[in-house]
Amino acid sequence: MHSTKGVLLLIILSVVVISGQKQKRPPNVPSPIDSIKPQENFDPKRFSGKWYLIGVASECNYLREYNHQTEATAMVVSQMPVENNHAVSTFRKLDGLCWEIKQEYEITKVKGKFSQKANGIKIDIVVGKTDYSNYAIIYYQKLKKITLKLYGRNPSVAPDIVQQFEQNAMNQKINEDFIYYFPKYGFCDSADEFHILTVK
């Protein structure tokens, strides 16, 4: 009799513990990047090629402190078949030397949406708007925080594109004080073998 009561008590305690564990799970909060619609009928082949970084909208602490040290930055997206990932190289100067930072944009089931890992942290990427020949507005999400980047096929874009970029940033509740524009000269085209960094 006592053993039966003991078994029942253990079962009840187990149910209570399990129930308690379930209640402690955080609610399934939607990710901010999920509300961003990718460019309609996104064409990865047309998106490939060289892009110049024009502006960044971000509340990143690093940019807040060091935005006065921004360097001209360019991104080269490899031309790959639609079903493959994109190899992406970013070229920028550091202490006067040109560096190439290699990354890989992994394709997802949604056209225009990618993911990558940087030091073990997942980053979600959405090409929000592009006309392929002049500009691209790209959204990046890291640890549930959104950053927008404005790229151009040339170091400058039309004023209406800049306005669109700034409006999109404000739509993400990023204050205009946290929109930074990058130099339009001094770009790197390549880096020697000692200044290539692969990010995984």
For 130-139, write each residue's pLDDT tens digit. 999 999 999 9
Taking residues 37-65, report their average pLDDT: 93
Query: What does the pLDDT look like over 75-130, one tens digit per residue?
Result: 999 876 556 788 999 999 998 999 999 999 999 999 999 999 887 889 999 999 99
Q: Which residues contact 118 (CB under 8 A, 6 or more apart)?
A: 103, 142, 199, 200
Inform me whether the pLDDT recorded for 36 exceeds 70. Answer: yes
Query: Of 29-33, 56-60, 128-132, 142-146, which range is least confident?
Result: 29-33
Percent helix, strand and coil across the chain, each rounded to 5? 30, 35, 35
Quick check: helix, strand or coil at residue 4? helix
Beta bridge partners of 152: 52, 135
Q: Does residue 79 or residue 157 have the better pLDDT?
A: 157
Please tell me the CATH superfamily of domain 32-198, with its number. Calycin beta-barrel core domain (2.40.128.20)
What is residue 117's predicted lDDT score, i.e. its pLDDT?
A: 84
- pTM passes above 0.75: yes
Taking residues 5-19, report their average pLDDT: 43
